[in-house]
Structure 1
């Protein structure tokens, strides 16, 4: 059975934060998980590679990019949106 977008994103974030996926809560911020700006960049690259998508270069500005990184839930929703756009 294929992993869902949510499961893959959580796995990527958990790996970056050196946590178990079960420790990554949907409402947690990356900062709360101990992910700094470099970790964010590495997470974005891993997400792009895992889903074959392109995250906007200005993802740290959700109003300009439409890609919200304020929480794990927001990242999952943004990735789901990009995956859906790509499939269309």
Structure 2
């Protein structure tokens, strides 16, 4: 599934991980991509800015967040939902 939102998210994550966007697979975890917790927070901020959304993310208690950051596929799916919710 490649669309504009997915492409833009992969580009943001790739920039943070210093990788080519084609290397960002749905199964890859942030750790797999070499993204530490600070890098993940920076990526989240960049995604929020790119799509003008607010991501319900609590780095201290990720199990309490509705935004699943376990892998790129779940991050992309969650952003799709937030963008759709914003569009109404």
TM-score (norm 1): 0.90
Q: Please report how far the alpha carbon of residue 85 of structure 1 lies from its aligned counterpart in structure 2 after TM superposition.
A: 0.8
Q: Aligned residue for 1:11?
A: 11
> Gaps spanning 5+ residues in structure 2: where?
none
Contact 2:9/2:76 (8 A) holds in 1:
yes
Number of equivalences: 85
Contact 2:16/2:35 (8 A) holds in 1:
yes
Q: Aligned residue for 1:84?
A: 84
Q: Please report how far the alpha carbon of residue 65 of structure 1 lies from its aligned counterpart in structure 2 after TM superposition.
A: 2.1
Q: Aligned residue for 1:72?
A: 72
- CA-based RMSD of the aligned residues comes to 1.4
Contact 2:57/2:67 (8 A) holds in 1:
no
> Gaps spanning 5+ residues in structure 1: where?
none
Q: Deviations over 1:1-21 (max 9, x none)?
A: xx6111111000000000000
Question: Deviation above 4 Å: which 4+ runs of structure 1?
Answer: none
TM-score (norm 2): 0.90
Q: Deviations over 1:36-88 (max 9, x none)?
A: 00100100000000000001132662x52210000000000000010011111
